[in-house]
Structure 1
């Protein structure tokens, strides 16, 4: 068991990443998720923060599970309209300015009008600026070149652009013949796609879950508080489905499911970790264990909020996290398989 259809899942992920949804401006993508769940006739509601919670009733309604993935992404806001008609930006989420240099972007005004642009160094032209390569990539030096005939701050404001307007980055999504999907925002829209496909699989196969299970698609994870509320008092286990980060000293790769044992918040629940490993081994699921020292999840946010739950974190391995991300269909498959068997397993406590 695993993904219902790999092509269908990657298409769903591609659809998700194509919808701009920086933290703070996620209504459009939440509506997309809402419509997906409506087609499956899965009861769901929005919380006041704008996330969406779907519930599948299980045999035991006195003990619940919750699974989360987040649909909000990195992005920016207009910080200042410069005298030259370009825009200074302020970042949303934890990433570096160098990771967005040269990226196409979209500015959405308060009225909903959208303009395109490119994020560039002010000192981009090597024919003009001697320090083009050495100048620091930071808020003072980087700006948006708007694709409109504007040369002054007044002309920009005539378009309706103002301080506080949201800026989203072009995902540049591509699915390769060799099975890779590369795109911005695979963190965490790859996992959102996997969870939605899991719900669809449970419905189509007529599976009755052992415990009532909630699926929270959160929308503030990148700023630290996406999944820390709307956890029912009956919830015993809480599993965040996010990315596994790849780099020097890490075990995670693009082909297996990553099981996080510890992040910046401390260790995840030891019993749940052991159960996830057992399920992976029992069902021939490729997995890696890893520690992420500069990472936090919806599950760790829930623990910090004081909820008395067993918490865990798994996800597909994502290369170049918070930049030009990539994973492989086999990592999506292994993550989907582990989730499929997990939601049908017994609780740890």
Structure 2
């Protein structure tokens, strides 16, 4: 098992291309085609679900118990809720994000026949007109509207332009790749994760590294709206590692460098054995890392478990500042994350018994705190039990 060199030029180039492709949840066909093309360049076989989630297959020495890595291609966005009498457009959010970060955004509105550029503005946008009232306007989607860059002063004008309720609105990423290594953009969640997975796969292919078991690369298209990896798994997948963002903020241990390994999110703890295996791999290969717990966060793994899959799940993240807003990451975290993903792909299954969906207690793992002798653990004292038994 080796820690391969990650082609960071490729990783950043793919990330740039991904960011340039509009893909709010429900409007992901173009980005699916792009990722499919990258898999073809790497000579990695893949299939699509009916709606376009991608399942790529990297064969190993044995087919089971196999594993999967997952990231999502869909992003936050908006949709036309109503055509307003003033020629502006009322919006609803796609995904969960604050209208605070929508104000001032440049966007593309996709109609049935074409597309228009525009800007999301607060209802009171002009200081010369509303004076200090602009600072008193509440924050929320009811207090913003889309101004289309076309002649539109009435609802009839919008109809003439072909605008309809339900049209998709994609938010410009405004991406900047800085010489300092920082990358600032919307939608780094989770296009950076997709780029990491492709770069790790490229490292495996370039170095002709053998996998012990089959590994599936999953690219989902509905994580931001909750369904994620619920319908793209092979039945014999026993380990699922999500690649997504980890929030750097007060009270969090995530950083914009190294790999942040999540121990728990709002849906519950991640699998003890798979998570601690990833921690061991990071230590053994000198990959910078830290642990964190996320209170208001869910990922593709949650959707897979909620869909009834009996699998071990873990979450590896790149630290991201201002998630679901104007996001920032550092390329060092992406490199460390791709290294850990590539090492993990070469490793043996966390629990060999997982090759069977059901089995006896034989081979079932123990999780008693890093090898603590059970005799040293406290025992309950109940009726008829002596304290010095």
TM-score normalized by the length of structure 2? 0.88
Aligned partners of 2:176 and 2:183 also within 8 Å = yes
Aligned partners of 1:265 and 1:300 also within 8 Å = yes
Aligned partners of 2:72 and 2:220 also within 8 Å = yes
Aligned partners of 1:3 and 1:336 also within 8 Å = no
Structure 2 counterpart of 1:270: 272
SS in 1 for 2:229: coil
* Structure label with greater radius of gyration: 2
Within 2, Cα distance between the matches of 1:245 and 1:228? 24
Within 1, Cα distance between the matches of 2:139 and 2:58? 47
Within 2, Cα distance between the matches of 1:326 and 1:17? 13
Aligned partners of 1:238 and 1:299 also within 8 Å = yes
SS in 2 for 1:140: helix
Query: What's the CA shift for 1:190?
Result: 0.2
Within 1, Cα distance between the matches of 2:196 and 2:241? 14
TM-superposition CA deviations, 1:99-139 (whole Å, max 9, x none) = 1110101100123x111000000101112114101111222
**Match for residue 245 of structure 1 among 225, 244, 247:** 247
Query: What's the CA shift for 1:3?
Result: 5.3
Structure 2 counterpart of 1:41: 43
TM-superposition CA deviations, 1:175-222 (whole Å, max 9, x none) = 111011110000000010010111122112111211001111000000
Within 2, Cα distance between the matches of 1:33 and 1:252? 28
Within 2, Cα distance between the matches of 1:211 and 1:138? 48
Within 1, Cα distance between the matches of 2:314 and 2:254? 16
Structure 1 counterpart of 2:146: 144
Within 2, Cα distance between the matches of 1:165 and 1:262? 36
Structure 2 counterpart of 1:178: 180
Structure 1 counterpart of 2:127: 126
Query: What's the CA shift for 1:155?
Result: 1.0
SS in 2 for 1:227: helix
Within 2, Cα distance between the matches of 1:13 and 1:348? 30
Residue 68 (1) aligns with residue 70 (2): yes
Following TM superposition, where does structure 1 have runs of at least 4 consecutive aligned residues deviating by more than 6 angstroms?
none
Aligned partners of 2:6 and 2:339 also within 8 Å = no
Aligned residues: 348
Structure 1 counterpart of 2:112: 110
Within 2, Cα distance between the matches of 1:2 and 1:194? 13
Unaligned runs of 5+ in 2: 352-389
Query: What's the CA shift for 1:140?
Result: 2.3
Within 1, Cα distance between the matches of 2:5 and 2:337? 9
SS in 2 for 1:77: strand
Within 1, Cα distance between the matches of 2:298 and 2:142? 28
Structure 1 counterpart of 2:81: 79
Aligned partners of 1:109 and 1:160 also within 8 Å = yes
**Match for residue 220 of structure 1 among 219, 222, 229:** 222
Structure 2 counterpart of 1:28: 30
Aligned partners of 2:185 and 2:328 also within 8 Å = yes
Residue 14 (1) aligns with residue 1 (2): no
Unaligned runs of 5+ in 1: none
SS in 2 for 1:24: coil
Structure 1 counterpart of 2:164: 162
Within 2, Cα distance between the matches of 1:300 and 1:136? 33
SS in 1 for 2:201: helix
Query: What's the CA shift for 1:248?
Result: 1.1
**Match for residue 314 of structure 1 among 303, 313, 316:** 316
